Amino acid sequence: MPEAIKMIYQGGSAEVIEKKSRFIGEIYPIGSEEEAQNIVNQIRKKHYDARHHCFAYVLGEKMKWSAAAMTVSRRELRGGRC
């Protein structure tokens, strides 16, 4: 039997707080790679002070993702400079 296809029909978000860290997840339906990148850029602007930004998308057979990248070093957070 063929595997069922899962589709996103509307956007949504969720938030979890664990050990004083805040994790925000957002989901959106997309129609193109350009639209996906625009949404990622909007979220980065919205959460400009986040230390990590991760994303993933599936568009037909194409999949793309990004691992977390720290945008601020721990030393900078303590007030020191490299």
DSSP string, 15-48: EEEETTEEEEEEE---SSHHHHHHHHHHHHHHTT
Q: Which residue has the higher pLDDT, 75 or 2?
A: 2
69: three-class secondary structure by DSSP: coil
Please name which of 76, 31, 18 lies closest in space to residue 57, comparing C-alpha atoms: 31
Per-residue pLDDT tens digits for 25-72: 888 888 888 998 899 899 889 988 888 888 888 887 777 777 655 555
Q: What pTM was computed for the model?
A: 0.65
- Residue 79's pLDDT is 54
pLDDT, mean of residues 17-22: 88
Q: How far apart are CA 28 and CA 11, in angstroms?
A: 4
Q: How far apart are CA 8 and CA 27, in angstroms?
A: 8
- Residue 38's pLDDT is 92
Residue at token pair 């900078």: 76
